[in-house]
Structure 1
Amino acid sequence: MKATSPHTIESVSAMHRHMGVKGPSHPMISVVDLSTVKCDTDRVDQSLVYEFYTIAIKKNVEGKVRYGQQYYDFDEGLMSFVAPHQLVRVDKDTPVRMDGLMLMVHPDFFRTYSLAHRIKEYGFFDYAVHEALHLSESEEATVTQLLHTIRQESQATLDAFTHDLLVSTIDLLLTYCNRFYHRQFITRQLASHDVLSRLEAVLDDYFNSDQLIESGLPSVESVANQLNLSPNYLSDMLRAHTGQSTQQHIHAKLIDKAKQALSTTTMPVSEIAYRLGFAYPQSFTKLFKRKTTMSPLTYRQSFN
């Protein structure tokens, strides 16, 4: 069966039509009550690509949402974040109904504001569905209030302050969401410690195998895939618990292996570099010095 191409929804107005709700008051920003969405079952089993940002709080969802090959059921209040040009797919096995609110905003709406750059720094727009933000009762109230404020302001009569107020409220909403995600990383200690343990196991297996010589250092993406996490989520979670990103953990493992070889063998630095996946010894020396403030030879000599 031939796969169908993703359906691109280019505007907020087009999204309103797709959802079967009344057109937006503003062409570039809107907040929709998800309980009012009329779902056409003939169009549910479809991949979608938006040309705008969506930020949604969803509750009591029937149906399955899929990113790639993974499915996720929303049984409780969760937040999801989708950036322009990301692929979203809704499965048609069950009817889709839900409560909640969805903010849609086109990037042109805040292109002349600092938010245009800052929004790209929020890693949660690249998280997978199963890494959604679980809100506490008070957090849900905060998010809901901000979304209602955006909705009311976008539907009110425009004046000289409307645009600034809307952009600043979106900015505030994202700042709160960043705080809430950080709280989630901290409060889910057991799950996070499990990820840390599995990360160490993945890195140990890799560094003790021939893959290092054959393929070089593991990429953040390959490590995250083995842990069934998105690269951004893994790095953000690690920073919250250890202060280091995934890349820094990979480099730490590398430096540990290098120190072991330098202090316990007489192997030439060039051979150590090769065994650690470096095509050029100079690249290894540069990284080692950046991480330890010493060259490999200076480090070795400190043991004599």
Structure 2
Amino acid sequence: MDQIIQLDSIDTYNRLYGLPTLHPLVAVVDLTKATRMLNHVKVNYGIYALFLKNGVNCTLKYGRRNYDYQEGTIVSFAPGQTVEVEMLDNEISPEVYGLLFHPDLIHGTSLGDKIGQYTFLDYAQNEALHLSEKERDIIIDCLHKIEYELDYPVDKHSRSLLNAHIELVLDYCLRFYDRQFCTRAKVNSDILTRFEQLLNDYFNGGESKNGLPSVKFFADKICLSPGYFGDLIKKETGRTAQEYIQRKVIEQSKHRLLGSGQSVSEVAYSLGFQYPQHFIRLFKRETGVTPGEYRKQS
């Protein structure tokens, strides 16, 4: 199926699966109640979505890879992501519960101000949230509270209560992701080791002639989304991935300033800087002295 469905509203999603629309900006969906099922669909999200999957009869693809998305897991999407859904058995409705909400619902609210903190909304393949039975029950309970609010007659409290309940779901997901990062310490350590190796290869193997590396460059090499990769590095090292890269740049620049006869400009170009003054500013910010002063002092 080559057609991409633009999912810009709650009603568009509900019509795809034959579900009723109770509110134009938010929905809790239960696909076991779907009256229509698509066996293969590609969707570009214009809304936020979070799905808890209990069955194993559907798969999701983001890019070229399947999600790490099995029974008892959560995946989430932010506006701008394109996802491919494939049903393994078109005769069985998947046991999937979902929370969908439109960006308009949270504009001008505290949730809207902090939505960027929920970086897991932009996670991609191999990055699903695996829940314990107790954690699953907590999420289900939160979704039931949102359902209750959607069934309640609209009044002046409706929007703030819906935002509060959605924020609670996202906060729990944030907590559970933190737990998952901790319980995957060995995997995370291996990724950090691989990151360090890739950094060394980049600067010592001549790739720096293509410019300074980005967080996305290394995330792609390790087959993670930039958001998940960045969060993992921050939790493992206390530094952002960008800060980690800059630390390596400074380390490499000190070695080259003292171990070669290159000028400051030549060192800057060899590290991938387009303009030497950018290198000089970064070096002084990180060390307190300019590259020239560092060379003289040493």
Q: TM-score range by the shorter chain?
A: over 0.9
C-alpha distance in 1 between matches for 2:105 and 2:10? 11
Which structure 2 residues correspond to residues 35-114 of structure 1 after superposition, within 5 A? 35-40=32-37, 43-72=38-67, 74-92=69-87, 94-95=89-90, 97-114=93-110
Aligned to 1:247: 242
Q: 1:175 aligns with which of 171, 176, 189?
A: 171
C-alpha distance in 2 between matches for 1:238 and 1:289? 24
Percent identical: 38
Aligned to 1:13: 11
C-alpha distance in 1 between matches for 2:260 and 2:62? 48
CA apart distance, 1:92: 4.9
Which structure 2 residues correspond to residues 138-217 of structure 1 after superposition, within 5 A? 138-213=134-209, 215-217=210-212
Aligned to 1:260: 255
Aligned to 2:117: 121
Please give the per-residue CA displacement for 1:216-238, whole angstroms capped at 9, x wherever unaligned. Answer: 11121111110000011100111
1:269 aligns with 2:264: yes
C-alpha distance in 2 between matches for 1:73 and 1:259? 41
Instruction: Return the letter of the residue paired with 1:123.
Output: T
TM-score by length of 2: 0.93
C-alpha distance in 1 between matches for 2:70 and 2:128? 12
C-alpha distance in 2 between matches for 1:74 and 1:276? 39
CA apart distance, 1:38: 4.1
Q: Could you tell which deviates more after superposition, 191-200 or 115-124? A: 115-124
Q: Retained in 2: the 8 A contact 1:62–1:74?
A: no
Aligned to 1:27: 24
Aligned to 2:214: 219
CA apart distance, 1:69: 0.8
Please give the per-residue CA displacement for 1:278-301, whole angstroms capped at 9, x wherever unaligned. Answer: 232211111111112221122222
Please give the per-residue CA displacement for 1:32-77, whole angstroms capped at 9, x wherever unaligned. Answer: 123223453xx43221123321112111221221111112363321
CA apart distance, 1:119: 1.2
User: Can you give the 5+ residue segments of structure 2 that lack an aligned partner in the other structure?
Assistant: none
Instruction: Return the letter of the residue paired with 2:187.
Output: A
CA apart distance, 1:129: 3.3
C-alpha distance in 2 between matches for 1:241 and 1:176? 21
C-alpha distance in 1 between matches for 2:93 and 2:258? 62
CA apart distance, 1:24: 2.3
TM-score by length of 1: 0.91
Please give the per-residue CA displacement for 1:130-154, whole angstroms capped at 9, x wherever unaligned. Answer: 2011122332222111111111111
C-alpha distance in 2 between matches for 1:72 and 1:172? 24
Aligned residues: 297
User: Can you give the 5+ residue segments of structure 1 that lack an aligned partner in the other structure?
Assistant: none
Q: Retained in 2: the 8 A contact 1:63–1:73?
A: no
Please give the per-residue CA displacement for 1:149-179, whole angstroms capped at 9, x wherever unaligned. Answer: 1111111122222221111111122122112
Inter-CA distance 93–260: structure 2 relative to 1 (3 Å threshold): same
Q: Retained in 2: the 8 A contact 1:261–1:272?
A: yes
Instruction: Return the letter of the residue paired with 2:25.
Output: M
C-alpha distance in 1 between matches for 2:86 and 2:281? 49
C-alpha distance in 2 between matches for 1:245 and 1:68? 25
Query: How much is the aligned-residue C-alpha RMSD, in angstroms?
Result: 1.9
